[in-house]
Amino acid sequence: MTYVWIFGLALLVSLLIYFEQTALLYIFSTVGVTILLIIVATADLGRSELGSGEATEGANVVGSARAAK
């Protein structure tokens, strides 16, 4: 399915360039980047299992270093 998306988007971009519709290409790319940024901004990365374990370990290291002083 990923290769279908890649081929489809490559075809769309190629057709937009061929038919000199760069204004639409700019709009699509801006909207695409904006959607990607919204997805990343709303992703709850701190609640993942790997992320929470590493955050706890990092806090323990910082806490033990302060206690050693």
Q: If you search the block for the tokens 């990607």, which residue do you land on?
A: 36
pLDDT for 33 beyond 80? yes
Using alpha carbons, select from 5, 13, 6 the residue that is nearest to residue 29: 13
Q: How far apart are CA 29 and CA 5, in angstroms?
A: 15
Q: Which of 6, 2, 24 is nearest to 15 (CA)?
A: 24
Give the mean model confidence (pLDDT) for residues 44-63. Answer: 62
Q: Where are the alpha helices (DSSP H) in the chain?
A: 2-18, 22-42, 49-68
Q: Rounded to two decimals, what is the model's pTM?
A: 0.56
Report the chain's mean pLDDT, rounded to a whole number: 82
Domain extents in the chain: 22-69
CA-CA distance, 11 to 16, in Å (whole number)? 9
